[in-house]
Amino acid sequence: MDDFMEWTTDDQVSRYCIWEQYISKEDELNYMRDIIKPHPWHRAICIDNKPVGAISVKPKFGNDGFRAEVGYGLAFKYWGKGTATRAVKLAAMIVFKEWLNLERFEGLVDVHHMGSQRVLEKAGFVREGVLRKYIIMKGN
């Protein structure tokens, strides 16, 4: 729990995420219960058996059932070291094997978060454009 809180309470990490910065263990437990546990594909990113981030893949349904969206968060001290890129590549490899109908694996990134854009580029993603007012985060 403490390892998880180390990066989820960091404003440098949470400012680019849809979730608010967690400030208590109760917040973390609620997040794990309400978001992580029921999520169809959510994994920890670990270094030396210590969770330093998380990655999730959310399948789309109905007419969009051939698509899935990746999301990730990583402790700030591991930014710029290739950790997130390796996690995205591994997640893509796994879900393309597990989800046979998957044709498109996509990621949405804050336009101001250049590091995260590089993660996806290095993982083989191609930038297709900017979705203006697509997601309203934290009132912005």
Instruction: Name the β-bridge partners of 106.
Output: 69
**What does the pLDDT read at residue 52?**
93
Q: Which amino acid is at 42?
A: H
Specify the pLDDT at position 33.
83
pLDDT digits (tens, 9 = 90+) for 19-75: 566 677 887 788 778 878 888 899 999 999 999 999 999 999 888 889 999 999 898
Mean pLDDT of the chain: 85
Q: What residues have CB less than 8 Å from 120, skipping those under 6 apart?
A: 88, 107, 109, 127
pLDDT at 14 > cutoff 80 = no
Which fold is adopted by the domain 2-122? Aminopeptidase (3.40.630)
Taking CA atoms, 40 is separated from 35, 63, 77, 95, 122, in Å, by 10, 18, 28, 11, 25
pLDDT for res 80 = 94
106 C-beta neighbours (distance < 10 Å), count: 12
Confidence of residue 106 (pLDDT cuts 50, 70, 90): very high
Can you give the pTM of this predicted structure?
A: 0.83
Phi, psi of 91 (to 5 degrees): -60, -45
In the numeric block, which tokens belong to residue 49? Answer: 């058996």
83-105: per-residue pLDDT in tens? 999 999 999 999 999 999 999 99
Q: Where are the domains of the chain?
A: 2-122
Helix (H, G, I), strand (E, B) or coil at 47: strand
Residue recorded with tokens 């390796």: 86
